[in-house]
Structure 1
Amino acid sequence: MKELIEVIAKALVDHPEQVRVRERAGDQAIVFELSVAPEDMGKVIGKQGRIAKALRTVVGAAAVKEKQRVVVEIVS
């Protein structure tokens, strides 16, 4: 799951070397924190959050396949 988020995020940004994904266990789900360079934040979020929503949808679909609950947070 972590690798999937990294691949998608690196394809979207101008500075792929600054993409970081941190995994932590939440109460009911696995939480992935995605951080990118400040100037790439808009590219990851997209207009009205559309790209962020699409990223969460793809990761969520992959998680269902593996019978997991996953949350993707975009942090600065």
Structure 2
Amino acid sequence: MYCKFMYNAKKLTKNRRVVVKLENKEGQMCINYTFVVTNMIIRLESVITFYCNRCTMENLIKEGKNSFAFNKLI
């Protein structure tokens, strides 16, 4: 299930869109929540997919730097 709401922290000058994804996987009692604070105005599913893909790519880059020294020249 996806939902959204607007949020304005005291330090922010504008409202931010918060997109929430609720997942209840089969066989689990707990619900998994994913929160994304964004200013993107696209479909809720697309926002979650975009940020999940971005997170995966950043983790791959971090793994390459830390494990394989991709950031060092030979």
The TM-score with structure 2 as length reference comes to 0.29
Higher helix content, 1 or 2: 1
Higher strand content, 1 or 2: 2
- Considering Cα pairs closer than 8 Å and 6+ residues apart, tell me whether 1 or 2 has the greater RCO: 1
